[in-house]
Chain A
Amino acid sequence: MKSLMRFTITASNSYWGKVVLLTAYYFAILVVLILMYGKGNFEPAEFIYQGY
Chain B
Amino acid sequence: MKKAPHLSAVLIAVFGALLATTLFVIYASRFEQKYIHSVAQLDFHEVLKGQVLQRLAFKQDDLLVMYASSEAVLIPSDYQAYKYFRNYPTDFMVFTVANKGTSMLSMAQDLAALGPDMRGKKFVVSFAPATVTMGPGGAMNADNYNPNFSELHALELAFSSQLSWETKGLAATRMLDYPDTLVERPLLKFTLQALSSGSALDKLKYYLAWPLAKLQIAIISVQDHYAVWDFIRHQSTEKLKVTRAERAIDWNADIAKAEAEQKKRSDGNEYGVDNDRWKRGEELMENLPPPGSMDERFKKNVPLALEWRDMDILLRIVKELDGHPLMLGRPMNVKLWEALGYSEETQNLYYQILHQVADPYGYPIVDFHQHGRDQYFSADMASHSSPKGWMYINEILDAFYHNRLK
Question: How many Å lie between the Cα of A34 and that of B13 in the bound state?
Answer: 13
Tell me if B396 is interfacial: C-beta within 8 Å of chain A.
Answer: no
Question: How many Å lie between the Cα of A25 and that of B14 in the bound state?
Answer: 12
Question: How many Å lie between the Cα of A51 and that of B382 in the bound state?
Answer: 9
Question: How many Å lie between the Cα of A33 and that of B355 in the bound state?
Answer: 52
Number of A-B contacts (CB under 8 A): 95
Question: CB < 8 Å: which of A18, A26, A30, A44 contacts B147?
Answer: A44
Tell me if B257 is interfacial: C-beta within 8 Å of chain A.
Answer: no
CB distance A42 to B227 under 8 Å? Answer: yes
CB contacts (< 8 Å) of A15 on chain B: these are 2, 5
CB contacts (< 8 Å) of A19 on chain B: these are 5, 8-9, 12
CB contacts (< 8 Å) of B148 on chain A: these are 44
Chain B nearest CB from A5 CB (Å) reads 19
Tell me if A50 is interfacial: C-beta within 8 Å of chain B.
Answer: yes
Tell me if B282 is interfacial: C-beta within 8 Å of chain A.
Answer: no
Chain A residue nearest in CB terms to B18:
A30
CB distance B9 to A23 under 8 Å? Answer: yes
Chain B residue nearest in CB terms to A48:
B143
CB distance B130 to A26 under 8 Å? Answer: no
Chain A residue nearest in CB terms to B230:
A39
CB distance B226 to A39 under 8 Å? Answer: yes
Chain A residue nearest in CB terms to B382:
A52
- CB-contacts of A5-52 with B (<8 A): 15, 18-19, 21-23, 25-27, 29-31, 34, 38-52
CB distance A42 to B49 under 8 Å? Answer: yes
CB distance A47 to B100 under 8 Å? Answer: yes
Contact with A along B1-28 (1 / 0, CB 8 A): 0100110111011101100000000000
Question: CB < 8 Å: which of B9, B16, B130, B224 contacts A52?
Answer: B130
Question: How many Å lie between the Cα of A7 and that of B212 in the bound state?
Answer: 42
Chain A nearest CB from B369 CB (Å) reads 20
Chain B nearest CB from A38 CB (Å) reads 7
* A residues whose Cβ falls under 8 Å from a Cβ of B: 15, 18-19, 21-23, 25-27, 29-31, 34, 38-52
CB<8 Å pairs between A and B, sample of 10: A23-B12, A23-B13, A29-B13, A31-B17, A40-B226, A42-B48, A43-B49, A44-B45, A48-B101, A52-B384
